[in-house]
Chains A and B, each alone.
Chain A
């Protein structure tokens, strides 16, 4: 099973600032990595597919990069609605796995 480790667990950022989230895989997942945003009481929302492709309707301030074992989600300028928990997911191997999440909170 591929283990995904997200860091940091909590990121304290002020609105308008840049946020950088990390996801590291225990073995290569090529580019088969996705990022999700989840707000309290809601289902996850797909942000990024295949490491760097924004899903339909996702604002350009969200960007993904990386391949192999190291991936990054960047939010260029945090809006109030971006404070949430973010998860990465690998779809390279079965079983599919999620990272433990990064909570982005208001500083």
Chain B
């Protein structure tokens, strides 16, 4: 069974940092590109970042460029999102999704507030 499990969210002050993780199982993680998508409370979906299977290609939404860094460790079947310089508008549930977009995690909530 394919599983994606996010972790690392929490309450952080404006300007703070977090490292989000996504643990993958049940599929050949190293052969799939991956994405992060977020959803602010009561709002729609926003794509955040993409990483190819070999990490050779990376893209970011303009809203997070320069502040967020996506990475992966294929040996550990894990995807990461380092989120720095957090703002109130970054408050959201962050989902990881497989490159085929069929598999999604349950999400991890990041709350940016003083």
Flag if B102 contacts A55 (CB, 8 Å): yes
13 pairs of residues in contact across A and B, judged by CB atoms under 8 Å: A38-B45, A43-B105, A46-B102, A89-B101, A94-B59, A95-B60, A95-B61, A96-B35, A96-B50, A97-B47, A98-B47, A99-B44, A101-B44
Flag if A44 contacts B61 (CB, 8 Å): no
Residues of chain A touching chain B, judged by Cβ–Cβ distance below 8 Å, are 1, 34, 36, 38, 43-46, 49, 55-56, 87, 89, 94-101
Flag if A43 contacts B104 (CB, 8 Å): yes
Q: Which residue of A lies closest to B60 (CB)?
A: A95
Q: Is B74 an interface residue (CB 8 A)?
A: no
Flag if B59 contacts A34 (CB, 8 Å): no
Q: Is B106 an interface residue (CB 8 A)?
A: yes
- Chain A residues near B50: list those with CB within 8 A: 94, 96
- Chain B residues near A87: list those with CB within 8 A: 44-45
Min CB–CB distance B20 → chain A (angstroms):
15
**Chain B, 75-114, contact with A by CB distance < 8 Å: what is the 0/1 string?**
0000000000000000000010000011011110000000
Report the 9 A-B pairs with minimum CB-CB distance, sorted nearest first.
Answer: A43-B104, A96-B47, A98-B45, A101-B44, A94-B59, A95-B61, A46-B101, A100-B44, A46-B102
Q: Which residue of B lies closest to A95 (CB)?
A: B61
- Chain B residues near A99: list those with CB within 8 A: 44
- Chain B residues near A45: list those with CB within 8 A: 104
Flag if B104 contacts A44 (CB, 8 Å): yes
Min CB–CB distance A42 → chain B (angstroms):
8
Q: Is B1 an interface residue (CB 8 A)?
A: no
Min CB–CB distance B70 → chain A (angstroms):
13
Min CB–CB distance B49 → chain A (angstroms):
9
Flag if B59 contacts A43 (CB, 8 Å): no
Q: Which residue of B lies closest to A6 (CB)?
A: B44
Tell me which of B46, B59, B104 has the highest count of chain A C-beta atoms within 10 A of its own C-beta: B104
